[in-house]
A = this chain, B = another copy of it.
Amino acid sequence: MKQNYLNNLPLDTAKQVYYAHLKQAGFSGKTETVAVTDACGRVIKHAAYAHICAPHYNASAMDGVAVKAAATFGASERTPLRLTPADYTVVDTGDPLPQGCDAVIMVEDLMECGEEQYQIIRSVVPWQNVRQVGEDICMGDMIAPSGTVLTPALCGALLAGGITKIEVFKKPLVGIIPTGDEIVPPTENPAAGDIIEFNSTVFKGMLGQADADVKVYPITPDKKDKIRAALENALAECDMVLISAGSSAGRDDYTSEIIASLGTVLVHGIAVKPGKPAVLGEACGKPVIGLPGYPVSAIVIMDEIVREVLAMYYGKAQCARESVKAVLAKKLVSSLKYSEYVRVSLGEIGGKLCAAPLARGAGVITSFTKADGVLIVPQNCEGIEAGTEVDIRLNTPAEALKHTLIITGSHDPLIDEAADFLAKRGAPFRVCSTHVGSMGAIYAVRDGLAHMGGIHLLDTATGEYNTSYVQKYLPAGSGVIQKGVGRVQGLMVKKGNPLGIKEFKDIARVRYVNRQRGAGTRILCDYLLAQSGLEPEQIEGYRNEEFTHTAVAASIAAGNADAGLGIYSAAKMYGLEFIPICNETYAFLVDKRYAEDPMVRAFFEVLYSPEFRQRLDEMGGYSVQ
């Protein structure tokens, strides 16, 4: 088996080496001239100077009459002045001031007194109610310096300054070449072994946000000559090329070799996790970057390097990156071999931002869909303690974080459903829910890291739910148990129940799939095991832990396990058979301080609404308590 090696260059070194080379190779933005009326959002190449003044003539600022100000001096309530048609000219707002006039009396200050005469009781001073030439913009003034992104107002100012066309950076065209024998175009019915090619769609979106145009080429199989031909073709058409997958040093990884054959490879292997097996190269004076196949790894390289290369194209020194301070909700351990990019969800609670680390697998695209930001753990850092203040690079606008209901605890699909109902009602906040089990809810509320969380904790001594746990773990009066739903828990098994499972103790003779420690369903499992006189060691798969009811159902549906404990709605979703075991109380533990918070109240209003009860009926296995 072929086995190559990658470098492990620190990120900053990799960037320095690469950007210096690109600069040397003459990589920079092309330009085009466009109409200012269509230039919003574009980046100007040169400073823009006003061609004319705005206004370019003395303009009346009001509807009224234009006069020579000196002719009105002395007018007062005691000595009103009469204006004859010879003294004034009627003007509308925007009309040019007639020759000899230097002020306007507004219509509200004129009293008609017949024969086209007006009486005034206040004088005007020179230039009163007049927009003098250049009031807004003076000819020759710089309206915007080089490299400015044109805002709507700037486009207006350019037009007001007599500029109708402007030289802007052409949007760079970035080619994406997806590679891989196992890769298939998006489909609803992939075969086993087919990998749906969604990375190019993610890249396209990110490139669009960075003001690039994108051309996605057809999927190219893992054949050296085909990828090489595809790259040559893309180099002829594009300003920059991304090759997706094949960037590592495995059997079928050709990216580095191919780029080297057509140009120069500057870096292969960067000390970031995820994202290590990236290739930074150049050919024909254009950047060619080999992206890792795992989506999360690729996104890190896109965000760290591709965005900065695009900024270089636009002549910018760096990308704007919004960051915030947040308190880390959970201890993080990190390797000294890499700087690590940890996706976090963020929410503001009690005036401080909390950052909760998300799943860290490189294949888990949902860790980015839920990521409000990224915590970068430096290479020389072994880990960060919970409660530490950290810098988070934002994905979600800071404002949205202030309006987030944080629900941390036991998983139930009804939380997502309630969030959807809230969204449909146009609720002015978002719901951020994390599945950490019922005990996780108790710790999160105790530590001020969540507004509330789902719990279903069986007190095995009394058979009662929730109350004793809250009393034991939370300071008295700091948490409120809010009514949720009744749920049926049971064993999920394959359709037709081929192994003839009838009761809980039957799990001893099949492959079980468990829930994680701290989950209410795990506590129930352990209780049922004890009741059945079984030891965990007797259960095959006891240590095979999943984090949600649907993940347990998916595992059984896939044949990875034969049985697992969970709720009816999950079994139904996967067409599994469901053997009811017991009814339980799924409630919400709410931090007392937020019990009357409008977001919390809106959540329960939805939960108790007739429409939502109907949705629960459709999902099945719930009862109203």
Does chain B have a CB within 8 A of A536? no
Pairwise interchain contact B199-A424, C-beta atoms closer than 8 A: no
Residues of A in contact (CB 8 Å), total 142
Q: Which B residues are in CB contact (< 8 Å) with A52?
A: 188-190
In this complex, the member of A131, A136, A190, A427 whose beta carbon has the largest number of chain B beta carbons within 10 angstroms is A136
Pick from B140, B155, B162: contact of A205, CB below 8 A: B155
Whether B153 contacts A368 by the Cβ 8 Å rule is yes
The SS class assigned to the A binding surface is: loop
Q: What residues on B are CB-neighbors of A365 within 8 Å?
A: 54, 136-137, 153, 156-157, 160
CB-CB contacts below 8 Å: A2-19 with B: 3
Partner of A320 from B90, B397, B544 at Cβ < 8 Å: B397
- Decide if A151 is an interface residue (CB 8 Å cutoff): yes
A49 CB, min distance to chain B CBs, angstroms: 9
Residue with the greatest number of chain B CB neighbours at <10 A, chosen from A41, A53, A251: A53
Copies of this polypeptide in the complex: 2
Binding site for B on A (CB under 8 A): 1, 3, 36-37, 40-41, 47, 51-59, 61, 63, 90, 92-96, 102, 107-108, 110, 112, 125-127, 131-148, 150-157, 159-160, 162-164, 180, 182, 186-190, 192-193, 195-206, 208-209, 216, 250-252, 293, 295, 299, 315-318, 320-323, 361, 363-366, 368-369, 371, 395, 397-400, 413, 416-417, 419-420, 422-428, 431, 541, 543-544, 548, 550-551, 553-555, 557-558, 560, 570, 573-574
Residues of B within 8 A of A417 (CB): 47, 142
Residues of B within 8 A of A163 (CB): 188
Closest CB of chain B to A562's CB: distance in Å?
13
Q: Are the CB atoms of B205 and A152 closer together than 8 Å?
A: yes
B196 A159 Cβ-Cβ under 8 A: yes
Q: Which of B126, B299, B363, B425 contacts A136 (CB 8 A)?
A: B363
Query: B192 contacts A96, CB within 8 Å?
Result: yes
Residues of B within 8 A of A110 (CB): 1
Would you list the 6 A-B pairs with minimal beta carbon distance, nearest first?
A152-B205, A40-B205, A134-B554, A159-B198, A317-B426, A133-B558
Closest chain B CB from A277 CB (angstroms): 11
Contact B544 A127 (CB under 8 A): yes
A430: nearest chain-B partner, CB-CB: B145
Question: What's the minimum C-beta distance from A315 to chain B, rounded to whole angstroms?
Answer: 6
Is the beta-carbon distance between B36 and A186 smaller than 8 angstroms?
yes
Decide yes or no: A198 and B92 within 8 Å by CB, A142-B416, A364-B136, A558-B53 being known contacts.
no
Q: In the complex, A364→B54 CA distance in Å? A: 9
Q: When chains A and B are docked, how far (Å) is the Cα of A154 from the Cα of B558?
A: 25
Partner of A199, one of B58, B156, B371, B427: B156
- Assuming the contacts A202-B152, A369-B151, asked whether A428 and B57 have C-beta atoms less than 8 A apart, the reply is no
**Given A135-B363, A205-B40, A92–B426 Cβ distance below 8 Å?**
no
Which residues on the B side are within 8 Å of A551 (C-beta)? 134, 138
Is there contact, CB below 8 Å, between B193 and A95? yes
Cβ-neighbour of A139 out of B422, B428, B574 (below 8 A): B574
Residues of B within 8 A of A321 (CB): 399
Closest B residue, CB atoms, query A363:
B131
Contact B420 A146 (CB under 8 A): yes
A198 near B550: Cβ-Cβ < 8 Å: no
A-B contact pairs, 20 of them (CB 8 A): A37-B200, A51-B188, A63-B251, A94-B180, A94-B182, A95-B182, A95-B193, A96-B193, A132-B558, A134-B555, A136-B365, A139-B573, A141-B416, A144-B369, A146-B423, A153-B368, A160-B196, A315-B424, A317-B425, A322-B399
Chain B positions within 8 Å of A131 at CB level? 361, 363
Complex: how many Å from CA A189 to CA B570? 70
Known: A126-B544, A420-B145. A251 touches B198 (CB 8 A): no
Q: Is the CB of B126 within 8 A of A423?
A: no
Give chain B residues whose Cβ lies under 8 Å from the Cβ of A422.
145
**A604 CB → nearest B CB, Å:** 17
Q: How far is the CA of A93 from the CA of B245 in the complex (A)?
A: 11
Which of B61, B197, B399 interacts with A363 by CB under 8 Å? B61
Chain B residues lying within 8 Å of A425, measured Cβ to Cβ, are 317
Q: Which of A36, A182, A216 has the most CB of B within 10 A?
A: A182
Please pick, from B94, B142, B155, B209, the residue contacting A202 in the complex, using a CB distance under 8 A. Answer: B155
